[in-house]
Structure 1
């Protein structure tokens, strides 16, 4: 099989869809990191968002209702981190691990209590997100197939990436947010309410992750499965680390992981066992972390040599 026959519009389309929830979670983690709150709860937030989206879509008969449910309930879920790590001065790592465990157990429990099923819930009453078809580019080979078959959340994710980048580095609000994260005491002496900025940022980030959860459960398939976030939140944490809390660099890392995710599905369709293909995104993640760490060590060694010269 040639490389060009392997790389198809369907593969690229699948990669773009796979990138979306990871990208939204990574944006959330980047915002939290900029205000000094280390967010490792994106895995649980994605899961809560995915479950709430299915509940909202099923209850209202509308995909928009599902998206709104996802945003609202993920923001409410994020109150745990917002107040636990700021007002109550708790350890954000411990809080986030607890949130991830809570999300996994709570969604599984509610799935049984609300719908009487375990594992997976699917129903004709669940309305999925509509794919946006753009007539102007729909007939263009490759481009039309890929970009006119995405949901509004996918388009919104990239718009938000640009908006967050501009806000962070080109506006007074972004300067204040960065100041809160870099030196909270100095920001406080300038009259900035550090706690308020952190709480609101974490809650806004929760809304972004809720959107990612809605994309997971309503974007490609209109179902909810237990633990359907499948490590995407942890991959988003790695993307934030690789991007060093910069939205654009984190987005590039998300592209890498999204392509790896789509590639694993493609390899499975070629007959490889799913036990092997499922590890592809995580192997890529570990390799990216290892290369980033090696590069950082080389930079530090060079700086040390320069300092002693």
Structure 2
């Protein structure tokens, strides 16, 4: 039982950055914009959350700084892909390249180290919160293994499920992603809707990155995102562009990584590297098996020119 509880808790913790980032990718693509730069936005969120926490002494301010960095990075992508109508794949690649370079340049200037930051204040349960949570019957010990960001991610899945399917905002967003010309005819501001979607996506992906650096840990290291932005995109496709589907796929990828982390306790004669490649193997399988069956927005990755026929 302790192993199962630990494994489930680890799955949720590991899946949380993927859930948040796949929600961001989902909002992006529902508006007709594809952004492979989510990896880079996660990097920016993770790094600047640590910077904010270091210089303010408050992890929550650090989280806000990380989110702001993600939004500003997304604004660059939005300007390139929506305003200038640049190729969205190339623009996303540029964001990833830029985001990978910035922390490497600033780590030495801000922390005096080449590949990692100082340890900083992190978001964690307070002693009083641990006491209250631990006193909950049956599930208290399990909940203590989680963190605040897990609950935020699960709540956001429920919120965006309702917003996308039941709200006026969701209808407008989906119409812009499916048939922007018709949406424009009905008075929906296509460019503004897409800009807002990209910025919201950036905030979510930055939260995903920050959850790694100041929630699960308290430090930024070069390479700590390690392809999670791309795995989150695969989770979104695997989940057929729905919040609940993205949640399920993220949990699957999280379980694969949790299995890799705990593999040595099994005592099986299987190389650790086999477990290590599981999340990436699942990513390739998901894209291959479900990419053609999934129903992407009809206008995905197609720049819109107002007034075109």
Same fold, judged at TM 0.5 (above): yes
Q: Secondary structure at the match of 1:155?
A: helix
> Which of 285, 288, 295 is matched with 2:286 structurally?
288
Whole-angstrom CA distance in 1 between matches of 2:262 and 2:77? 37
Name 2:132's counterpart in structure 1.
135
Whole-angstrom CA distance in 1 between matches of 2:180 and 2:141? 48
Structure 1 residue 294, shift from structure 2 partner: 8.0
Gaps of 5+ in 1: 297-309
Name 1:98's counterpart in structure 2.
94
Q: Secondary structure at the match of 1:223?
A: coil
> Which of 176, 181, 187 is matched with 1:180 structurally?
176
Change (3 A) 1:134 1:188: farther
Change (3 A) 1:128 1:85: same
Name 2:153's counterpart in structure 1.
157
Structure 1 residue 185, shift from structure 2 partner: 0.7
Name 2:197's counterpart in structure 1.
201
Instruction: Give the TM-score taking structure 1 as reference length.
Output: 0.88
> Which of 26, 38, 45 is matched with 1:42 structurally?
38
Change (3 A) 1:269 1:73: farther
Q: Secondary structure at the match of 2:10?
A: helix
**Contact 1:138/1:148 (CA < 8 Å) preserved in 2?**
no
Does residue 225 of structure 1 match 2:231? no
**Contact 2:26/2:241 (CA < 8 Å) preserved in 1?**
yes
Name 1:250's counterpart in structure 2.
246
Does residue 59 of structure 1 match 2:55? yes
Whole-angstrom CA distance in 1 between matches of 2:157 and 2:144? 20
Structure 1 residue 288, shift from structure 2 partner: 2.7
Q: Secondary structure at the match of 1:65?
A: helix
Change (3 A) 1:248 1:203: same
**Contact 2:237/2:291 (CA < 8 Å) preserved in 1?**
no
**Contact 1:133/1:149 (CA < 8 Å) preserved in 2?**
no
Whole-angstrom CA distance in 2 between matches of 1:134 and 1:182? 49
Whole-angstrom CA distance in 1 between matches of 2:292 and 2:105? 43
Does residue 119 of structure 1 match 2:115? yes
Instruction: Give the TM-score taking structure 2 as reference length.
Output: 0.88
